Amino acid sequence: MSRLPMRRVGVVLDTALDVTSHESTCARVFELAEQGRPAYVCFATSHMIIEANRRPDVNQAYRDSAIVNPDGRPLAWALRMLGHGNAHCVSGPNETPFLLREAEKTGTPVGFYGGRPETLALMQKALKETYPKLNVAYLYSPPFRELSEAEQAEVADEINASGTRLLFIGLGSIKQEVWMWKNYTSLQCVCLGVGAVFEFMSGEKTLPPLWVQTMGLTWLVRLCQEPRRLIGRNMYSPVFVAMFGLQLFTELCWRLMGITRVDNALVGRDTP
């Protein structure tokens, strides 16, 4: 793989987001996996950015992550408005094929944690058809309840014993971010919180066409597919627009007054 590019980060509503692409994210993930250092990667939506402002555990989960990708056109647009002209939307569903192709090419063992047993069975079948040489070393559908410390320790031992280097986490937003934050140091792999990707790969759910994604309307299609589950989450959209509008106005005022500030969200992060 090509030499790793210098990392760039922008701050949206106090959350540091990586200014990246599918290719550079893939490069970073595999560099971490080759180093064998515990790490995790988040894919942040505007809903989760609001949650990070509300919940200390989500906020800390983002701060401690190796990469926070802007998952959704609105966040990529927000980064561009802040001066990061080459910011791209890097979503879990669209990044996963990059990672799986590279894992198949390099023989990197992968694992999957989350989803229902039937979802994992369908997904495993689809993976064999699409990535015939992929080394799937671990599959686990955890119970809906939270695992005890002893159970979680046993799961960590099983993941490590499997040799998994990339662990895809499909627990859904908030739950997966907090799970990775709490457990990644006991794992010898890179965790990736990819949300509903398991159901997309299994064929139980369908991604909208590329033109819909490009226009930033993925949320609308998903809402029509799952109105009961997603209606509450999408109520955050106007809140995000209002809060980011205030951020833009405030930063413009600072620039006009010649004030330079240091973002707390960047303190301690690996930025140029």
Evaluate whether residue 198 is within a structural domain: yes
Evaluate whether residue 228 is within a structural domain: yes
In which band, very low, low, confident or very high, does the pLDDT at 270 lie, cut at 50, 70 and 90?
low
| pLDDT reported for residue 9 | 84
Evaluate whether residue 256 is within a structural domain: no
Number of domains in the chain: 1
| pLDDT reported for residue 231 | 58
Evaluate whether residue 106 is within a structural domain: yes
Evaluate whether residue 241 is within a structural domain: no
Residues in the chain: 272
Helices (H) and strands (E) in the chain, counts: 13, 8
Report the C-alpha gap between 56 and 103 in whole angstroms: 34
Q: Which of 65, 64, 68 is nearest to 13 (CA)?
A: 68
Q: In percent, how much of the chain has pLDDT > 70?
A: 81
Residue with tokens 């490069």: 27
7 contacts 270 by C-beta, under 8 angstroms: yes
Report the C-alpha gap between 20 and 264 in whole angstroms: 21
Average pLDDT, whole number, for the chain? 84
Evaluate whether residue 255 is within a structural domain: no
Evaluate whether residue 52 is within a structural domain: yes
Q: What pLDDT digit, counting tens, does each position of 94-119 carry?
A: 899 999 999 999 999 999 999 999 99
Q: Which residue has the higher pLDDT, 231 or 258?
A: 258
Q: Which of 140, 205, 148, 203 is nearest to 171 (CA)?
A: 140
Q: Which residue has the higher pLDDT, 261 or 70?
A: 70
Kindly report the pTM of this predicted structure.
0.84
- Identify the domain containing residue 20 by its residue range: 9-236
Q: What pLDDT digit, counting tens, does each position of 174-210 carry?
A: 999 999 999 999 999 999 999 889 998 998 876 655 6
Evaluate whether residue 162 is within a structural domain: yes
